[in-house]
Amino acid sequence: MKNLSLKFTTAAGKNVHLTIRNVNQNLSQEVVRAAMQDMIDAQLITDKKGIQQYTKALSAQYVETTNTPIFDAEPAPIVANN
């Protein structure tokens, strides 16, 4: 599964990340940039101090996570026979 990781600058000059799960994996740069700009223009997200969290779009990337089990002690699920 790939997630979309978006990186923004806050009004305080710090970097923040937003991860979106189960996202379309064929998004173009133009679509992602436009969506990020829409989020910036909406000015909906602030922190506890009221500082705007998304003021400049810095980057976007797909992130794929691979799970490698070390052990699994969970019991197998019970399957009902119909």
Please report whether residue 72 resides in a domain: no
Please report whether residue 44 resides in a domain: yes
> Token pair for residue 5?
């990781």
Is the pLDDT at 65 greater than 80? The verdict is yes
State the Cα angle at 71 between 67 and 77, rounded to 5°: 90
Q: What is the mean pLDDT of residues 59-71?
A: 92
Please report whether residue 58 resides in a domain: yes
Per-residue model confidence as pLDDT tens digits over 18-64 = 999 989 999 999 999 999 999 999 999 999 999 999 999 999 999 99
State the Cα angle at 11 between 15 and 63, rounded to 5°: 25
| pLDDT computed for residue 82 by the predictor | 62
Please report whether residue 69 resides in a domain: no
Please report whether residue 70 resides in a domain: no
pTM of model > 0.85 = no
Structurally, how many domains does the chain consist of? 1
Is the pLDDT at 81 greater than 80? The verdict is no
CA distance 10 to 13: 5
Residues spanned by the domain of 33: 2-64
Contact 53, 10 (CB under 8 A): yes
